Structure 1
Amino acid sequence: MKTYRLEFTQKLPVDLDQAWDFFSSPLNLEDITPKDMTFDVTSPDMDKTRMYPGLIITYKVAPLLGIKLNWVTEITHVKDKEYFIDEQRFGPFAFWHHQHHFKKIDGGVLMHDTLHYSIGWGPIGSIANALVVKNKINGIFKFRYQKVEELFGKF
């Protein structure tokens, strides 16, 4: 099974507390996901929940062609105001491991994401990644970058 790695970095002109408060709330993920994915957190009582190890989050998402899928992730690691990791437990990928890192820098926060994922399906998955999936993921993170700039301003 081929595994892919993507990395994304963004500087935010806010303090670490503000960045952490926003990104550690599961509901804010809806705000920074493209609308055409119809991303919807379906876990109950997420409005009061902050990230903690073992947190299970359920979603409905339409990654391609408007077809809604269930997606379940678990927050496996959290170090307050430094990082958290989500891993897919059920969903569209054969493997999904997403690290979210935050570091205080002069004038704000450096946010760095490392994503490892696999589609599975052998050579068909490799072709799907080359033609569609990698571009879709890059597009999601480009949207997020722009949306975060709208919310917090440019660094």
Structure 2
Amino acid sequence: MAVYFECFTKTEMTREELFEKSLNIDAHSGSMAESGERAVDGVVTGQIALGEQVTWQAKHFGLPVRMTSEILELDAPRTFTDQQVCGPFKKFHHVHEFFESTTGTLMVDQIHFEAPLGPLGWLAERLVLSWYMPRLIRMRNAYLINSEH
């Protein structure tokens, strides 16, 4: 059974600025400094585009993790979707949407993921990943809207 959650982030940035920042590999690496996440294959710096892949390497819970994601859909500056093609999850699908508002931009992250390992994965989803994954997305988004990157 998959986990689904949404994160809502408001900023005074324009939709175009936030959209571009969200596709920037260097900005993502900066936002995940706590876990040492860095791009090690595919697009490893600058902007990632439709059909391109990036492989991330990080440590979460003291364990090394590698995950390759691909940009499956892109409609600038409204939305893009990335999905794991290889990595720790049975499934990982992330839709990023950007809406103009009277005060700037509303970014909505919609994430579906499923852990592997059947009943053990289900337990990990419920006990750890269901709070840990939204925390990572909130950290990433706070970095994006507050950094000069």
Q: Same fold (TM over 0.5)?
A: yes
Higher strand proportion (structure 1 or 2) = 2
Q: What does residue 64 of structure 1 align with?
A: 61
Match of 2:2 in 1: 3
Evaluate the alpha carbon distance shift between residue 149 and residue 14 of structure 1 in structure 2; reply closer, same or farther with a 3 A threshold: closer
Deviations 1:84-109 (A, max 9, x none): 10100111100000001111111201
2:135 corresponds, among 139, 142, 150, to: 139
Q: Which residue of 2 aligns with 1:128?
A: 124
Q: In 2, distance between residues paired with 1:122 and 1:85?
A: 26
Moved over 4 A (4+): none
**5+ unaligned residues in a row in structure 1: which ranges?**
none
Q: Percent identity?
A: 19
Say whether the 8 Å CA contact 2:96–2:110 is kept in structure 1: yes
Secondary structure in 2 matching 1:92: coil
TM-score (normalised: structure 2): 0.89
Of the candidates 38, 41, 46, which is equivalent to residue 40 of structure 1? 38
In the alignment, the residues of structure 1 paired with residue 72 and residue 107 of structure 2 have an alpha-carbon distance, to the nearest angstrom, of: 19
The residue number in structure 1 matching 2:49 is 51
1:12 equivalent in structure 2: 11
Aligned residues: 148
CA-CA distance at 1:124 after TM superposition: 1.2
Q: Which moved more, 1:81-90 or 1:67-76?
A: 67-76
Q: Which moved more, 1:122-131 or 1:73-82?
A: 122-131
* Cα drift, residue 70 of structure 1: 1.7
List runs of 5+ in structure 2 lacking aligned partners: none
Verify the 8 A CA contact 1:56 1:73 in the aligned structure 2.
yes
Q: What is the CA distance between 1:44 and its match in structure 2?
A: 5.4
Offset at residue 71 of structure 1 (A): 1.0
Q: Distance in 1 between matches of 2:76 and 2:118?
A: 38
Aligned to 2:24: 25
Per the alignment, residue 107 of structure 2 pairs with 111
Q: What is the CA deviation profile of residues 119-150 of structure 1, one whole-angstrom value per residue up to 9, with x for unaligned ones?
A: 02222111111111112112212322433453
CA gap of 1:48–1:140, structure 2 versus 1, over 3 A, is closer
Task: Give me the CA root mean square deviation.
Answer: 1.8
How far apart are the structure 2 equivalents of 1:48 and 1:7? 26
Pick which of 119-128 and 36-45 moved more.
Answer: 36-45
TM-score by length of 1: 0.86
